[in-house]
Amino acid sequence: MKRGRVVAVLVGGVFCLAVMSLYRMLELMQGVERDRGGGTPVGQVEEDLSRLQLKIDRLERLLVDNNRLVARLRDSLLVRESPEGRGGANISSDSAHNRVGLPPGCLKVKEIKDGADGVQLLDVYDLLPFDNPDGGAWKQGFQISYRGDEWAEQPLELFLVPHSHNDPGWLKTFDGYYQDQTRHILDNMLVKLGEDNRRKMIWAEISYFSKWWSDIDDQKKALVRRLVETGQLELVTGGWVMADEANSHYFALLDQLMEGHQWLQTHLGVKPSSGWAIDPFGHSPSMTYLLKGAGLSNMLIQRVHYSVKKHFARQQTLEFLWRQSWDSSSRSDITCHMMPFYSYDVPHTCGPNPSVCCQFDFHRLPGGRVFCPWRIPPQPITEQNIKERALLLLDQYRQKSRLFRSPVLLVPLGDDFRYVESKEWDAQFSNYQKLFDYFDQHPELHIKARFGTLSDYFAALHRRLDAAGTTLPTLRGDFFTYADRDDHYWSGYFTSRPFYKRLDRTLESTLRATEILYTLTLADIRRFHDDSRLVEGFPAREHYQRLTEGRRSLGLFQHHDAVTGTARDPVVIDYGTRLFRAILNLRQVLLSSAHWLLLLDKSQYHKDQSKPFLQMDEVISAQDALPQKTTLTLDDEPRSLIVFNPTEQLRATVINLVVDSPDARVVDAETGRPIAAQMSAVWVEPSKVSAEAFQLTFVAELPPLSLTVYHVIKAPDGSTPRARYIIHRHGNPPTVHSEHFQVSQLEGTDVSTPLSLSNKHLQIWSSPETGLLQKLRLQSGLVRQVQVQFLWYGTRTSGDRSGAYLFLPGGEGPQVYSSSEPPLVRVTRGPIFSDITSCFPHFTHTVRLYHLDGHAGKSIEISNTVDIRSETNRELVMRLISDVASSNRFYTDLNGFQMQQRRTLEKLPLQANFYPMTSSSFLQDSTSRLSLLSAQSQAVASLRPGELELVLDRRLQQDDNRGLGQGVTDNKLTASLYHLLLEDRRGGAKEVGGASVEHLSLLAHLASLSLSHPPITMVAPGDGQLPKLRPFQPLRSSLPCDLHLLNLRTLEHPQEAGSPSQEVALLLHRKGFDCSSAPDPLPACSWSDEEEVNLDDLFSPLRFRSLRRSGLTLLRDHDQPDSAHQVQRVAPLRPMEISAFRVEIE
């Protein structure tokens, strides 16, 4: 009772404080309004009404936040009063967080256990010797035997699946391939499939198919539709590209899948049912989750480590149900077929002996341009040789069939850019048809063979499995890191062309922000006009086409030779130019949308693109240039600055501007409240300060999805707090002249004393010689050694060497980075941020602390600017060396969607222990966790306990013999950005043996969100009279901490191509977060263990006119009934799951 009264008093006090704060704010606002005065009576009324609405919204937000605080205190109390809460297994009495209960809704560590038939890939890796004995004809496998009567009861049912693998860019550009090959393949397909209805074909890349579709006439389009309807042509996967699965972020993976599926729905009215991924270099379960969520039920993969393939073939587990590691149910299961042999070409698909299979690739008949390297050419099938040829081929089919559990066999027939010429179609189809006819005429051979599609095969497979009562084994895990032969591990491409991997994520965040703002603008325009019509002035259709181009440019770059960095130099430039143009076009949409939403008087909106009302505060001058801040000219008139928060969370974030004055002040334009700021130097060289430009930094409090207006004004000399600097170079002190900043040097004993920075949450120590991080201490008292070190990897001196795909380091291993003279070290101390910058010849490295009260100040920002263009055959690595007792285990993310346990194995070569890291990695022991969150994808390894190393850039002079025909020498000045987060773990956070599922902490999720989706800063012109602007706040409060607004994407009008509809794809991802640490201080958002969420409450005051749950790619066939008749729209949102809704916003 006593405790209950204390809580009641505490809650009442918080509420009273909130209300008093609100009234004080109203008083301030009224004072500001009185000071401003003026305005026409009508304008004044509109402005007053608008302000009143904003104040009411604020009051409602405060009440909602107050209710959430009450709920959180209650939850905390309940947890503390529960038996577990009294020093039980989940709460450590000596933990800094023992005053905060177990976060509701968090996911405890669990060991993965499936039935006897379950396969865990981590255990397979522990089990395999990774030796490479010669298997005979099947070099990486084993001899396969059969008696001959195995098919007497159930004949072998064979599906030969013709395909042509069309890379949307690799050795040629996307357009180059289309003109030279792809259009001819598709033209011939129409003719040749039409000649015989027994012929079949599958096609995967919608980027090419849609381009061809726009080139053909209506008669040909009708033929295509007929081929699709009759099942002769199957569109497989249906993505814009066959995406990479290592470097791509799940937003982009889903976006390119949606772009392809929406195109197919509009133009062909079909939905894909089977996935086809024959060329991505390793496979991720994140992709399988998206495929299953998009309505696919089957899939096929090819590039898997040869030792794993061999093991699966021996166990007859090449077909399995691929299940998500975190899913205890079978909801996420998808049937997966793994191709057993070396490649997807004809020599490696009919059976285990490539020299025999090559004889049945009739494109290689004598006299053509392509031949069999085994020197036994194919023969045209004649009456004289058909028996011998049929039996030779049947033997291969039977051997391959022995690797599977059912008598249904899949044999692909194709290769890269096949079926360009009509004679190849004739050679393949006519010769195989003769063989199939022969099989039909000889029932004693017990084989039924025909051309088929992927769906034909899987339908027969499931039919046979059901009839026999056979179930497939379940599998959990991923298929990285891929090796195709010997010790040739494909871990190089996890980092190759890092400049473009970073540009990819810039486009991704720009696209998402623009989608959301554009959608909210259309809803606002419709509300403003009180009908479904769009305002004439706003270029909705033109903007929608810019959005579509942005989606397609991002989608194209997810191709497995694009984001991977494995295309030729001219092709990389073509991709880069597409990314660059897309960013510029999307910025136009973003600025135009923000312009509309900010205007108090909408009649003042103008769409003149030659004189945009708003401009970005930074410019990208070329496809291979880093963004540069534009210098704002300040005077006594306020410059309006608009900051868009693209996240669903209220955030305190640091905004950086470059201005032409050493003194400036920032005020909140709505309230007139001054904002804390810091003025810092702009360094044009390591020891040279700009005299014309200055960095202005301030802390912005940004409501979710809001546009907030600030005024920046020139201030009196010396009025803005300035950063102070220490410049040091060991043994050779530099001289620095600055008129506006205090710059000092280390002297006396300070020269050998560690440099130290601290904020309210943590303290760091760095080496005075190098400036590199050495140690970290949390406010709780937890201390960890965390040393930053840079290293070089070379490559082998003979034989195969590193290239775009492969990482083949030299035998000497990594060499510690050294330079001829010590680095220049620059220490910045200021009220908003402090940092230590180390300037080395090949990179500039900065470690920064932000002086922020909330959780945003708890991580360390690490940034690198790398330039290795002077080097030959070298790779630059950043290594973190800590005393976290992590053993041989560490965790990396898969596509930013989920975490995967990794084990560093001594039996594997060094390069095999590198894994893809799209956005996060962590090490942990029983008391602490060290998480590294990144704004770009790269390779990561933990070669020794407590260590993490990341490959920052690679420059390699030679080809690695995987078809590219060149090295990687087009390096750029490249930026990389990270947040480093050290957290206490509860004493009860137990290590689980075996393969365990772990998740990022809530704090790591929030830090990763802010890293991936930085605020977007826009400036209004500094001349002339500005129209009245008001901040835009579409949401009353933050979404729950663990709920991510993945997208709010306007869908295309079904009848008007290229125009927006009123329908919107609302995509929500509920993230799974770890139980072993609770954020302290508590963030502004809430969380709960309730699986059902009221969407009306969540998005208030936005209202949904209609809302239907759908599949992840919003195909109409997957829509559930509209929930408009429900009083409250409550939807289940389970942890880790992505949910998609088709909505109309009122």
∠ at Cα 1109 (1106, 1114), nearest 5°? Answer: 100
**Strand pairing class (947-955; 974-984):** unpaired
Q: Which of 65, 279, 456, 893 is catalytic?
A: 279
- What DSSP string runs through 833-898? EEEEEEE-SSEEEEEEEE--SSGGGSSEEEEEEE--TT-SSEEEEEEEEE----TTEEEEEETTTE
* CA neighbor of 561 nearest in space, from 612, 507, 493: 493
Distance of CA 284 to the CA centre of its chain: 12
Cα–Cα distance, 7 to 11 (Å, whole number): 6
Q: Which residues of 964-974 are buried (b: 16+ CB within 10 A; e: fewer)?
A: bebbbebbbeb
279 carries an active-site annotation: yes
Cα–Cα distance, 818 to 365 (Å, whole number): 57
Structure tokens at 1117: 């066939």
Cβ pair 495, 951 in contact under 8 A: yes
Q: Would residue 536 be called left, alpha or beta, if left means φ above 0 and alpha means ψ between -120 and 50 degrees? A: alpha
Contacting residues for 832 by C-beta, under 8 A, at least 6 apart: 654, 676, 677, 678, 697, 698, 699, 850, 851
**Strand pairing class (474-476; 119-120):** parallel
Crossing angle for the helix pair 250-267 and 285-293, nearest 10 degrees?
Answer: 30
Cβ pair 984, 915 in contact under 8 A: no
Cα–Cα distance, 269 to 283 (Å, whole number): 29
Phi, psi dihedrals of residue 952, rounded to the nearest 5°: -90, -40
Cα–Cα distance, 679 to 682 (Å, whole number): 10
Peptide bond into 1081 cis (omega under 30): yes
DSSP letter for 1135, please: T
Amino acid at residue number 724: R
Phi, psi dihedrals of residue 628, rounded to the nearest 5°: -125, 135
Amino acid at residue number 212: W
Give Dmax over CA atoms of the chain in angstroms. Answer: 103
- What DSSP string runs through 434-455? HHHHHHHH-GGG-EEEEE--HH
Cβ pair 264, 272 in contact under 8 A: yes
Contacting residues for 950 by C-beta, under 8 A, at least 6 apart: 877, 878, 879, 917, 932, 934, 938, 939, 940
* CA neighbor of 806 nearest in space, from 485, 559, 501, 488: 488
Cα–Cα distance, 88 to 98 (Å, whole number): 11
Cα–Cα distance, 642 to 665 (Å, whole number): 15
Give the three-class secondary structure for 1025. Answer: coil
Residues with active-site annotation: 279
